[in-house]
Structure 1
C-alpha cells in the first residue's frame, strides 16, 4: 500500500515538522512494515509554470512533426513576453493550457533545462509530458490542463509534484491497512491524535426505489449496496488532484468514473465496481456459476467458469466475477470511443474472503479489489463508500443521484471477547494498567465495558481479532514493542545440552573435520524425485506425510530420506562449477504412523491439558534424526605432487565410520542391495555385535545418476542417528593413550569367494580377545595362487596391553586364537600353511 503523506495529513493533523521518515518510524513501532519512503520530486527545481499556447507553426522538412510555439507564461520569465519553445508533441492546440519548464529549472533525472538552438529556432524551455515530470510513464503527449488555470501559475504546487510516499507491506491479518482510512487510524493512534474518518458520511437509508438486486448466495455475499447516478457528463475528466493521488498510490488514471471507484477504494478500503446502466439487462443477481458458463472480463480474456465461482449477473448471464474483475459487456464507456456512459450503477458489496481467494487462484487473476476482499473488508463501509462515489460523480461529472438506495444485508452478529484486564501485563511482563488497556482498545475501534474482566467488541473492520491474546497483542504493539522490558528467564542450575544434543554436535564436527561441508535443505519432496531414486512402488520411503497447504504442488510431502535434498544441493553446486564436492546434512525425516490421525487444534487461551498434548503427539509422524553425505569429483586434489584420488563408495563407508566413532560404537559393513545404490557397491551398516541395521552407504546406481544429472561414480551415505545411539550411552570419552609399545601381526587367510570380509573380521576380532587394539583389511587377492572360487584377505592386527609390554609369545598366542576363530566360523585357511 502506497500512502502519500500529503493525503494522510487530510485525516490526521500531523505536526508540520514531521517528515515521511518520522511517520514511517512511528508506524513501524506500531507494528506496520514500512519498506521504503519515496521522495517524489526531491530533485525538481523550478520555474515550472502554467502556460497558454498563443501560436503554433508547423515546421516541415523533418522526419517527425516539429512545432514552433509561442507560449504565454505570465511574468514567470521575468519579462512578460511570450516564451519561444520548439516541441515535438501534437496533442495540443492554440489556446490550450500546458505545463512549461523554463531555463534554469531542473527536471527529475536530474535533467537541467537551458535555452538552445534547435531546428533553426531558439527553444527557451520545454512543454512537458507526464513522464518528464515524474508523474507516470505516459509519454504519448504533453499535459493539457483545465482552461481556468492562469498563465504563470506555479505548476509544482498545482500538480503536487513534491511529496513523500510511504510504501507499506501489509500483512494478511491487517487488510484494513490497504486503505488511507486504515493507515490513518494507525497514525492517529501512534501520535495520540484524533482521526477524521472518511467513512463518517450521512447516508440515506435503503428504500424500495433502488436498483433491483437479488442475492441467491448470502453466504458468499452478505451485503450488496447499489446506487445510481444519471446525467453523468461522459466528457468530464478526472481533476488533477484525483489523478495525482492515484498516480502516487501506484494506480494509473483511466477515466473519471473508474478513477472515482479506485479513489474511494484507496480512501475507505471498500472496492467498488461501476456498471453502465444502459448495458445492464434487468435486475442484478448474485449467484454461483453454472456448468459451462463463460465470462469475458475487462482484460479481454474469455474465461471458463467453475461452479464455485461467485458471479454478478443480469438477464443476459454473467457480467462480473464477484470481487475480482468486472465483465466487458457492462464496462463504462469513454466519450472518446463513441457515445459515453451517462448512467452509472455503483456496486459496493461484501464477499466471503475464501471464495474470492480461490477464484483468484483458479483464474490466475489478482486485482486490487481481490487483494482487499481476500484479507477481509469492513462490511459496514459499503454504504459510506457508495455514497462517497456518488458524491464525487455528482460534484465532478455533473450527475444527479437517484433517490433509490439498495442495501441487502445478511445478519452480521457482533463478536464479544472477554479478556482479563491484566492479560496484556502478564503477556508482556510489565504493567500497563486497566485504563491504558481500555484506551488502546478503544483507539483501534473496540467497544469496551467492564472492570477486572473487560467485555470487548472488536470493530467490523478487524476480523482478525478473535481471542483475548489478539487484543493483548494490540495493546502491546501500540504501547511499543521497544518498551517491553527484556528480562532473562531464570535458568535452573545444572541444565545444559542433553546427551543427544551433544552427540548431534559431535557428528557435525566430526564430518566437518573430515572435510565435509554442511548444507541445509527444505524438508519437502514429491513423487518425481522418489521415481528418480528408483524406489519400488512398495518401498516404505514412498509412504509420506502430505501437507495440506504445500509451498509447491510439485513437492507436497515431507521427506522420508535426506538424499533428495542432499543430491539436489550436489547437482546445483556442480552446475555452478564446483566439481569436487563432499557435503553432509543432519536433520529429521518424517515417517507416518500406521494409523493416520488428524492433529487437534490446541487452545491459545490456556495451557493445553496432558490429554490434549498426548492426542497431538499421537497424531504426529515419527521424526528420527539422520545424517547423510554425498561425494563427487576428487576426494584428494591433483597437483604437481601427485595425481588425485576420485571419491568413491569407500569414502562414503568411511564417512559412516566417522559418524560411528562420534557415537562411540563400531560398525560392521556388509554387502547389500537397496535403492538408490548400485547393487554391487552398496554397503549395509550394522552396529558391531548386533543385528541392528542403522544405514547404507556406497555408489549410486547409474540410472539414478542419469535421472538426477549427477557425475559418474557419485556416492552417498545415510545413517539413522537415533538407531546408532539406541543403546543409550551417548557420552564418548577420549581414547586411552598407552605408554607401552604396540605389537603388530599380519595374517592372510584363504576363504571362499562368497564369504563376506566383514564376517571374517568379526571372527578375528572375537578370537583375538581384549589385547586387540585395532584390525584393518589391507589387501584382497584373487587368482590362481588363491585357488578357484577362493580369495585371500590380508589383515593387520595391532595388540597392546595397558599395563605392560607384551611379549612375543603373548602377541603370537592372540594372533593364533584369532585365526582359529576365523577358521572355525568361516572355514578360513592360513595362507601358506
Structure 2
C-alpha cells in the first residue's frame, strides 16, 4: 500500500516529521517498508503554453513552437513530440534547468533553428514511463508557474507492508484512522454526502449466491461525458499510489478504492441485458477480461452476470464487452460486499492478482459500499456531468457478517503486558479505534467495528491496546519461569546427531517447502495418497509432500542450473500421507547426491559417485544406533528408482526407508544428467539406539581366517553374514567382506565372496583346533543353508 504523505496529512494533522510518522506506524504494526520522494529531483521546469506551432523547415518530424512561460516574450522551441499543438500546456524546462538524469538545458540549434528550452514528456521528468508525447497539463494551469509547486511534487510516498489481517488499512481512510488514534487527532473525512437523484433510472439486481455476496449496491448515471479528462490532482494521487490513470470512470473508481478501501466497477449500461445476477459460474462459460485475457470459468467461481452471461469475475476483474469507453453515455456504478472465502485464491487460480482481489480476499467493510457509490457519484457528476438515479442496495441482511462481541478483562491485559495501563486509557484506545465498550465490574463487553474482521478474541483486544499504547512504552522485565531439565534418554538418538554426521560426510542441509508440484510428486512417489491445498500459493505448490525427495530434487535442479557439478544435500522434516481426516505426518530424513565421489584434487582420481557410496552414507547413519545388525538392505522395486540400483531398508520391526538411483525415465522428465542417488529414512525407525554398556577387552591375541565361498547369485551378502554370525558363536569378533568375484573359474549364476573371520576369546588364547572347529561349523552351515562351497 503506497500512500502520499500530503494526502494523508490532509486527512489527519500529524504533528511529527516523516521519520516520526514512519516510526509510529511501524511500532503500531503497520510496517513501513520504504520512504521515497514522490518525484525525482529537477529544477527550472515551469508550466508552458504553446502559443504557435509550425512545421520545422528542415525536418518533417520536428515542430517549431512559440512557448509562453510567464512574463516576457514567447520563446522559440524546437520540439519532436507528435502531440505538440497550439493551446497545449505542458512542462517547459527553461535554459539553465536541470532534469532528473542530470541533463542541463542549454540554448541549442537544431537543423539550423534556434531552440531556447525544452518541452518535456512525463518520462523525461521521471513522473511515469509515458514517452509518447508531451505531458499534457490542464488548460487552467497558469503559464510560468513552477511545475513542482503546481503539482505539489515535493511530497513523500510511504510504502506500507501490511499483514493480511489489516485489510482495513488498504485505503487512506483506514491509515488516517490509525494515525489519528496514534496522534490523538480526529481525522477530517472527505465529503461523502448523498447525491440526490435527478432521474428515476434503475437497473435490477438479483442475488443468487447470497452467502458469497449478501449486499450489492448499484446506481445508474445517465448522460455522462466519458471523454472528460481526469483532473491533474487525481492523476497525481493515483500515480503516487502506483496506479496508472486510464479514463475518467476507471480513475474515479480506482481513486475511491484508494480513498475508502472499497473496490468498485463501472459498466456500460447500454451493453448490459435485462438485469444483474450475482451467481456462480457454470461449466463451459467463458469471459473476455479487461486485460485482454479470455478465461474459461470454473464452476463455483462467483461472477456478475446479465441475461447473456458473465460480465465480470466478482471481486477480481470486469469483462471487456461491458467496459466503459469514450462512446459510453450511460454508466452503471456498482460496489458490493463479497465474503473473503468466496474470493480467496480465485484470482491466483486464473493467474491473476488485482487490487480488488487483494482487498476482497482479506475482507472489505460490508458497510462501506453505499458510501463509496455516493463518493464516486459526486466525483463523476462533478467532473464528467450526468444525471444520477437513486442508489439501490440489494441485500440479504441475515447473510451480512456482524462483528461478534468480545469479553475483555482489564486485569488480564495488565497481567499479559506487564504494564499498569489505566482503565480509562484502555477504554479510550478501544473507543478511538471505533469499538463500542460496555464496562462491567470485572469484564467489559467490546464490539468491534464493521471494518475490523480480525478482532475475535480477548488477546486481539490486548494486542490493540499494546500497539497503540506503544510497544516501546511497555516496561522491560524478566519473566519468572521455572527451569525444567528435559529428559535426555540415552536410548534415543537425537536428530542433531544424524544431521552432524551427514554434514561430516560432505552433505549440506536444505530446507524446502512442505508443499510441492503435483506432477513432480507423481513422478517420485506415484503410489502415495496426497493432500491437496485448498488455497495454494501457486500451481507449483499445490499438494503436501508425501516424501522429502521432491524438494531435494528441485534444489538439485537449481544447483545444476548454476553449474554446480558435485552436489550433496539432505533434509529432515515431515512427510504427509492420506486425507485430512486420517492424515499421517511422518518425520523423515532424506538426502540426494550427484557428481564426483570426491571433491576435485590433483592427487585424487575423478571417480563418479555410485550406489555403494550413498549406501555407505546410509549405513553410517544406521551405525549411530549401535545396532546396525538390526538393519538390512533388500533389493526391491520402487517406481522412482533404477530397477537394478534400488534397495529397501528393513528394520527388525518393519520398513525403514529406501536408497537407490533415480530411474532414467525420471531423470529424463526432470532434465537431469545422471546418475542421481537418493535415500529416505523413517526417523521413527532409526532413532532408537542401544545404550552403551561395558564389555571387557580381551588381553589375548585375535586370529584371522579367510574363506572364499561360491554362492548362487540370489544369495545376498546380508544372508551370508547372518548365517556366519549364527554359526560362529561367541568367538567371532568381526566379519569382513573383502572381495566379490565373478568370472573365470566361477560358473554362470554364481559368485565368489571372500570373507575374513576375526576370532578372539576373552579368557584364553584360541588354539588351532578351536579355530578349525569354528571354521568347520561355518562351512557346514553355509553349505546346508545357502548351497555354498569353498572356492578351490
User: Within the alignment, does 1:69 sit opposite 2:46 as a pair?
Assistant: no
User: Within the alignment, does 1:265 sit opposite 2:265 as a pair?
Assistant: no
Match of 2:375 in 1: 388
Cα distance 1:659–1:258, how it changes in 2: closer, same or farther (>3 A)?
A: closer
User: Within the alignment, does 1:87 sit opposite 2:50 as a pair?
Assistant: no
* Alpha-carbon separation, structure 1, partners of 2:271 and 2:518: 51
- Following superposition, the deviation at residue 678 of structure 1 comes to 4.6
Residue 130 (structure 2) aligned to one of 114, 122, 138: 138
Cα distance 1:580–1:752, how it changes in 2: closer, same or farther (>3 A)?
A: same
Assess if the C-alpha contact under 8 Å between 2:598 and 2:604 holds in 1.
Answer: no
Assess if the C-alpha contact under 8 Å between 1:92 and 1:144 holds in 2.
Answer: no
Cα distance 1:576–1:488, how it changes in 2: closer, same or farther (>3 A)?
A: farther
- Following superposition, the deviation at residue 88 of structure 1 comes to 1.5
Equivalent positions of 1:18-97 (< 5 A) are 18-19=17-18, 21-45=19-43, 47-62=44-59, 64-75=60-71, 80-97=72-89
Match of 1:577 in 2: 563
Match of 1:420 in 2: 409
Match of 1:468 in 2: 458
- Following superposition, the deviation at residue 567 of structure 1 comes to 4.2
* Alpha-carbon separation, structure 1, partners of 2:122 and 2:82: 15
Cα distance 1:266–1:426, how it changes in 2: closer, same or farther (>3 A)?
A: same
* Alpha-carbon separation, structure 1, partners of 2:270 and 2:656: 77
Assess if the C-alpha contact under 8 Å between 2:348 and 2:538 holds in 1.
Answer: no
- Following superposition, the deviation at residue 179 of structure 1 comes to 0.8
* Alpha-carbon separation, structure 2, partners of 1:782 and 1:401: 95
- Following superposition, the deviation at residue 269 of structure 1 comes to 1.5
Residue 807 (structure 1) aligned to one of 753, 761, 765: 765
SS at match of 1:161: coil
- Following superposition, the deviation at residue 454 of structure 1 comes to 1.5
Residue 509 (structure 1) aligned to one of 465, 482, 500: 500
- Following superposition, the deviation at residue 512 of structure 1 comes to 2.2
Assess if the C-alpha contact under 8 Å between 1:681 and 1:698 holds in 2.
Answer: yes
- Following superposition, the deviation at residue 405 of structure 1 comes to 3.5
* Alpha-carbon separation, structure 1, partners of 2:560 and 2:290: 47
User: Within the alignment, does 1:215 sit opposite 2:206 as a pair?
Assistant: yes
- Following superposition, the deviation at residue 128 of structure 1 comes to 1.8
Residue 371 (structure 1) aligned to one of 341, 358, 362: 358
- Following superposition, the deviation at residue 392 of structure 1 comes to 2.1
* Alpha-carbon separation, structure 1, partners of 2:279 and 2:547: 48
* Alpha-carbon separation, structure 1, partners of 2:425 and 2:171: 27
Cα distance 1:586–1:469, how it changes in 2: closer, same or farther (>3 A)?
A: same
Cα distance 1:379–1:524, how it changes in 2: closer, same or farther (>3 A)?
A: closer
SS at match of 1:657: helix
The unaligned stretches of length 5 or more in structure 1 are 536-540, 599-618
* Alpha-carbon separation, structure 1, partners of 2:195 and 2:281: 33
User: Within the alignment, does 1:657 sit opposite 2:619 as a pair?
Assistant: yes
- Following superposition, the deviation at residue 158 of structure 1 comes to 0.7
- Following superposition, the deviation at residue 584 of structure 1 comes to 3.0
SS at match of 2:576: coil
Assess if the C-alpha contact under 8 Å between 2:367 and 2:450 holds in 1.
Answer: yes
Residue 720 (structure 2) aligned to one of 757, 760, 764: 760
Match of 1:748 in 2: 707
* Alpha-carbon separation, structure 2, partners of 1:508 and 1:126: 67
The unaligned stretches of length 5 or more in structure 2 are none
Residue 779 (structure 1) aligned to one of 722, 739, 761: 739
User: Within the alignment, does 1:490 sit opposite 2:488 as a pair?
Assistant: no
* Alpha-carbon separation, structure 1, partners of 2:267 and 2:654: 74
* Alpha-carbon separation, structure 2, partners of 1:513 and 1:643: 21
Match of 1:522 in 2: 513
Greater CA deviation, 577-586 or 119-128?
A: 577-586
* Alpha-carbon separation, structure 2, partners of 1:682 and 1:37: 57
- Following superposition, the deviation at residue 243 of structure 1 comes to 1.4
- Following superposition, the deviation at residue 441 of structure 1 comes to 1.9
Equivalent positions of 1:172-321 (< 5 A) are 172-198=164-190, 201-203=192-194, 209=200, 211-217=202-208, 218-230=210-222, 232-234=224-226, 236-277=228-269, 284-288=276-280, 295-299=287-291, 308-312=300-304, 319-321=311-313
User: Within the alignment, does 1:447 sit opposite 2:433 as a pair?
Assistant: no
Deviations 1:22-75 (A, max 9, x none): 322221111123222121234222x2222333333321332x422222322224
Cα distance 1:210–1:478, how it changes in 2: closer, same or farther (>3 A)?
A: farther
* Alpha-carbon separation, structure 2, partners of 1:681 and 1:257: 67
Match of 1:605 in 2: none
Match of 2:684 in 1: 722
* Alpha-carbon separation, structure 2, partners of 1:191 and 1:207: 42
Cα distance 1:709–1:770, how it changes in 2: closer, same or farther (>3 A)?
A: farther
Assess if the C-alpha contact under 8 Å between 2:215 and 2:336 holds in 1.
Answer: yes
* Alpha-carbon separation, structure 2, partners of 1:225 and 1:440: 33
Match of 2:99 in 1: 107
Assess if the C-alpha contact under 8 Å between 1:310 and 1:355 holds in 2.
Answer: yes
Assess if the C-alpha contact under 8 Å between 2:316 and 2:354 holds in 1.
Answer: yes
Match of 2:636 in 1: 673
Assess if the C-alpha contact under 8 Å between 1:56 and 1:94 holds in 2.
Answer: yes
Assess if the C-alpha contact under 8 Å between 1:655 and 1:717 holds in 2.
Answer: no
- Following superposition, the deviation at residue 431 of structure 1 comes to 4.0
* Alpha-carbon separation, structure 2, partners of 1:364 and 1:525: 18
Match of 1:606 in 2: none
Match of 1:609 in 2: none
Match of 2:605 in 1: 643
Aligned residues: 781
Q: TM-score, normalised by structure 1?
A: 0.83
Cα distance 1:288–1:665, how it changes in 2: closer, same or farther (>3 A)?
A: closer
Deviations 1:132-163 (A, max 9, x none): 22222222222343334433222211122221
SS at match of 2:511: coil
Deviations 1:607-666 (A, max 9, x none): xxxxxxxxxxxx54152x333343333324565535344322222332222112211112
SS at match of 2:252: helix
SS at match of 1:748: strand
* Alpha-carbon separation, structure 2, partners of 1:450 and 1:518: 55
* Alpha-carbon separation, structure 2, partners of 1:597 and 1:557: 12
SS at match of 1:694: strand
User: Within the alignment, does 1:587 sit opposite 2:547 as a pair?
Assistant: no
Deviations 1:82-131 (A, max 9, x none): 32322112424334433211122222223322222322233221112222
Greater CA deviation, 279-288 or 4-13?
A: 279-288
- Following superposition, the deviation at residue 308 of structure 1 comes to 3.7
* Alpha-carbon separation, structure 1, partners of 2:367 and 2:73: 57
Match of 1:153 in 2: 145
Cα distance 1:799–1:558, how it changes in 2: closer, same or farther (>3 A)?
A: farther
Cα distance 1:44–1:737, how it changes in 2: closer, same or farther (>3 A)?
A: farther
* Alpha-carbon separation, structure 1, partners of 2:699 and 2:507: 35
Assess if the C-alpha contact under 8 Å between 2:216 and 2:336 holds in 1.
Answer: yes
Assess if the C-alpha contact under 8 Å between 1:767 and 1:819 holds in 2.
Answer: no
* Alpha-carbon separation, structure 1, partners of 2:283 and 2:557: 46
Cα distance 1:703–1:812, how it changes in 2: closer, same or farther (>3 A)?
A: farther
- Following superposition, the deviation at residue 327 of structure 1 comes to 4.2
Assess if the C-alpha contact under 8 Å between 2:521 and 2:545 holds in 1.
Answer: no
* Alpha-carbon separation, structure 1, partners of 2:301 and 2:633: 60
* Alpha-carbon separation, structure 2, partners of 1:468 and 1:588: 33
